């Protein structure tokens, strides 16, 4: 069976950026998606389309084909009051390099990276962490099957993507191989911690919208 529209595809892969490993999924815990539904980058799907189980792939995506070019238009200086919780500014969150989930004007959640902390304001970068990066993928097709009608209507069932056996993050966790959430992590459903999560045992990320920590979460530090 080939990778094509409306198929559930499982891939193992490694993503390298500037010669360094940035992300990976193993054959034991592969990346699963429904082909042709916009779950992955369009160019990525084009590259794996038509491949069969066991067939390997290797390709490179330019920034334009990946997460876009880096733009200064997405850098904003926000007042520290924007980071208030229960009437207090969360100074502990304002660490250079930390990714913080924030609400946009339309109510959607966007990920911003702290670039600089000033006495009364914070410089935030809302470019995607991979913006401006050339992405090199290698991997293989682990499995291909028909998607059920329920999956086509509602998406794949939630699965943990922590890539470790003792993950406690909850459904649809995306922590990655180096997650350090800890046994009492409260990330919950739809966790977005990323590979280098540092939530730790006392993480309290849970909430109505789920965890949105991002790749370089340092909640537990």
| Residue 160 to residue 167: CA distance in whole angstroms | 8
Q: How far is CA 160 from CA 62, 110, 115, in A?
A: 29, 22, 30
Q: Quote the radius of gyration of the chain (alpha carbons, Å).
A: 18
d(CA 197, CA 203): 11
Query: Is it the case that residue 78 has pLDDT exceeding 80?
Result: yes
pLDDT at residue 81 tops 80? yes
Q: What's the confidence (pLDDT) of residue 163? A: 47
pLDDT tens digits for 128-150? 999 999 999 999 999 999 999 99
Going by pLDDT thresholds of 50, 70 and 90, the confidence category of residue 208 is very low
**How many CB atoms neighbour CB 124 within 10 A?**
23
Express each pLDDT in 94-120 by its tens digit: 999 999 998 888 888 889 999 999 999
Alpha-carbon distance of 177 to 23, in angstroms, equals 8
- Summary mean pLDDT of the chain: 83
CB atoms under 10 Å from CB of 33, counted, come to 20
Position with higher pLDDT, 120 vs 175: 120
CA distance 147 to 127: 33
Q: Are strands 99-103 and 109-117 parallel, antiparallel or unpaired?
A: antiparallel
Q: pTM of the entire structure?
A: 0.67
The DSSP output letter for 52 is: B
Q: Which of 206, 127, 133, 221 is nearest to 173 (CA)?
A: 206
Structural domains of the chain, with CATH: 7-66+131-147 (3.10.50.40), 72-125 (2.40.10.330), 158-221 (no CATH)
Task: Pick the closest to residue 211 from 169, 183, 177 (CA basis).
Answer: 169
Query: Distances from the Cα of 150 to the Cαs of 62, 68, 84, 147, 157, in angstroms?
Result: 35, 33, 41, 8, 10
CA distance 173 to 25: 13
Helices (H) and strands (E) in the chain, counts: 2, 11
Q: SS3 for 46?
A: helix
**Residue keyed to tokens 């590979």:** 195
* pLDDT tens-digit map of 33-76: 999 999 999 999 999 999 999 999 999 999 999 999 999 999 99
Q: What pLDDT was estimated at residue 164? A: 47
């Amino acid at each position: 069976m080939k990778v094509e529209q409306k198929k559930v595809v499982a891939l193992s892969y490694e993503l390298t950026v500037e010669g360094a490993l940035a992300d990976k999924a193993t054959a034991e815990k592969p990346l699963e998606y429904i082909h042709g539904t916009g779950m992955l980058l369009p160019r990525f799907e084009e590259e794996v389309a038509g491949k069969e189980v066991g067939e390997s792939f290797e390709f490179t995506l330019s920034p334009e084909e990946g997460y876009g070019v880096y733009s200064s238009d997405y850098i904003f200086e926000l007042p520290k009051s924007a980071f208030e919780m229960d009437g207090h500014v969360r100074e502990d969150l304002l660490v250079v390099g930390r990714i913080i989930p924030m609400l946009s004007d339309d109510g959607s959640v966007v990920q911003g990276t702290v670039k600089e902390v000033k006495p009364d304001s914070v410089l935030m970068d809302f470019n995607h962490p991979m913006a401006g990066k050339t992405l090199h993928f290698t991997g293989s097709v682990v499995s291909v099957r028909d998607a059920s009608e329920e999956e086509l209507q509602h998406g794949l069932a939630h699965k943990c993507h922590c890539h470790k056996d003792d993950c406690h993050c909850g459904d649809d966790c995306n922590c990655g191989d180096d997650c350090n959430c800890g046994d009492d992590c409260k990330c919950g459903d739809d966790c977005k911690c990323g590979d280098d999560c540092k939530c730790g045992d006392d993480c309290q990320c849970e909430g109505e919208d789920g965890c949105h920590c991002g790749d370089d979460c340092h909640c537990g530090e």
